[in-house]
Structure 1
Amino acid sequence: MSLREKDYSWNFIVNAIDNAFFNLGMTFGSIQTLLPLFAKNLGAGNLEIGLIPAIANLGWAIPAILGARASERYKRKIELVLKVTMGERLPYLFMSFIAFFLASPFPKLSLYLSLFLLAIATFSMGFLGPPWMSMISKVIHPSKRGTFFAMGNGLGAIMGIGGAFLARYFLSTYQFPINFGYSFLCAGIALLISFVFLSLTREEPDENEVQDTSLTEYIKSIKIVFKDKNFRNYTISRILNTFSLSFISFVSVFSVKQFKIPDKIVADFTGILLISQALSSFIIGPIGDKFGHKITLLLGRISTLISLILLLTANNIISFYTVYIFIGIINSAFYVGDLAFILDLSPSQRRELYLGSINLIFAPFSFIAPILAGKIADTKGYYFLFHCLLILGIINILYFVYKVEDPKKNVKNINNSDFN
Structure 2
Amino acid sequence: MADIIRKDLKHNFIVNMGDGSFFGFGLGFSSFNTIIPLFVSTMTNSAILIGLIPAIHNVGWEFPQLFTAHRITRLPRFKPYVLLMTIQERVPFLGLAIIALLAPKLGTTVGLLLTFLLLIWQGMGAGMTANAWQNMVNRIIPSDGLATFIGLQSAGSNLLASGGAVIAGYILEKFGSANGNTNGFAICFVITFLLMAISYSLLAMTREPAREEIPEDHSKADFWRKVITIMKNDSSFRWFIISRNAFQFGMMAQAFFIIYAIKELNLSLEASGIMTGLLFITQVAANPILGRISDKWNSSNVLKGGAVCIGLASLIAWLAPSADWFYLVIILSGTATTAFWTIGIAMSLEFGTEEEKPTYVGLSNTLIAPSTILSPLIGGWLADISSFSVTFLTAAVFSIICVIIMQIFVKDRGKRHMTI
TM-score by length of 2: 0.85
Superposed CA deviations along residues 152-193 of structure 1, whole A, max 9, x for unmatched, are 111222222322322332455543344544444433333222
Pairing 1:108-119 to 2, within 5 Å after superposition: 109-119=110-120
- The amino acid of 1:243's aligned partner reads F
Name which of 177, 199, 202 aligns with 1:175: 177
| CA shift in 2, pair 1:234/1:61, >3 Å | same
Answer yes or no: is the 8 Å Cα contact 1:296–1:334 preserved in 2.
Answer: no
Name which of 221, 225, 229 aligns with 1:220: 225
Match of 1:334 in 2: 340
| CA shift in 2, pair 1:346/1:201, >3 Å | same
Separation in 1, partners of 2:65, 2:236: 21
Tell me the SS of whatever aligns to 1:345.
Answer: coil
Match of 2:156 in 1: 155
Separation in 2, partners of 1:308, 1:180: 35
Shift of the alpha carbon at 1:354?
A: 0.8
Superposed CA deviations along residues 71-128 of structure 1, whole A, max 9, x for unmatched, are 1131111010111111111222323333444289744554454333222122112122
Answer yes or no: is the 8 Å Cα contact 1:100–1:178 preserved in 2.
Answer: yes
Residue segments in structure 2 that go unaligned for 5+ positions in a row: none
Tell me the SS of whatever aligns to 1:398.
Answer: helix
Superposed CA deviations along residues 295-328 of structure 1, whole A, max 9, x for unmatched, are 3212321221233235445677655554443333
Name which of 291, 298, 315 aligns with 2:297: 291
Match of 1:407 in 2: 413
Name which of 265, 280, 286 aligns with 1:280: 286
Say what the alpha-carbon RMSD is for the aligned residues: 3.3
Answer yes or no: is the 8 Å Cα contact 2:310–2:332 preserved in 1.
Answer: yes
Name which of 184, 197, 200 aligns with 1:195: 200
| CA shift in 2, pair 1:284/1:353, >3 Å | same
- The amino acid of 1:223's aligned partner reads I
Answer yes or no: is the 8 Å Cα contact 1:51–1:370 preserved in 2.
Answer: no
Answer yes or no: is the 8 Å Cα contact 1:288–1:337 preserved in 2.
Answer: yes
Superposed CA deviations along residues 372-393 of structure 1, whole A, max 9, x for unmatched, are 3344445545444333223322
Shift of the alpha carbon at 1:40?
A: 5.2
Tell me the SS of whatever aligns to 1:203.
Answer: coil
Answer yes or no: is the 8 Å Cα contact 2:149–2:288 preserved in 1.
Answer: no
Tell me the SS of whatever aligns to 1:406.
Answer: coil
Pairing 1:52-71 to 2, within 5 Å after superposition: 52-71=53-72
Separation in 2, partners of 1:52, 1:183: 17
Separation in 1, partners of 2:273, 2:39: 12
| CA shift in 2, pair 1:397/1:136, >3 Å | same
Answer yes or no: is the 8 Å Cα contact 1:47–1:375 preserved in 2.
Answer: no
Shift of the alpha carbon at 1:231?
A: 0.4
Tell me the SS of whatever aligns to 2:4.
Answer: coil
| CA shift in 2, pair 1:128/1:30, >3 Å | same
Q: 2:139 matched to 1:138?
A: yes
Answer yes or no: is the 8 Å Cα contact 1:49–1:374 preserved in 2.
Answer: no
Separation in 2, partners of 1:151, 1:171: 30
| CA shift in 2, pair 1:323/1:90, >3 Å | farther
Match of 1:205 in 2: 210
Separation in 2, partners of 1:235, 1:19: 26
Q: Percent identity?
A: 28
Answer yes or no: is the 8 Å Cα contact 1:54–1:370 preserved in 2.
Answer: no
Separation in 2, partners of 1:377, 1:408: 41
Residue segments in structure 1 that go unaligned for 5+ positions in a row: none
More off after superposition, 128-137 vs 301-310: 301-310
Separation in 2, partners of 1:322, 1:112: 40
Match of 1:80 in 2: 81
Separation in 1, partners of 2:317, 2:262: 13
Answer yes or no: is the 8 Å Cα contact 2:94–2:190 preserved in 1.
Answer: yes
Separation in 2, partners of 1:261, 1:39: 26
- The amino acid of 1:325's aligned partner reads I
Match of 1:234 in 2: 240
| CA shift in 2, pair 1:284/1:168, >3 Å | same
Superposed CA deviations along residues 230-289 of structure 1, whole A, max 9, x for unmatched, are 101100001112222233345566667776965x98765543222111112221111111
| CA shift in 2, pair 1:373/1:185, >3 Å | farther
TM-score by length of 1: 0.85
- The amino acid of 2:351's aligned partner reads L
Separation in 2, partners of 1:299, 1:390: 13
Q: 2:388 matched to 1:386?
A: no
Count the aligned residue pairs.
Answer: 412
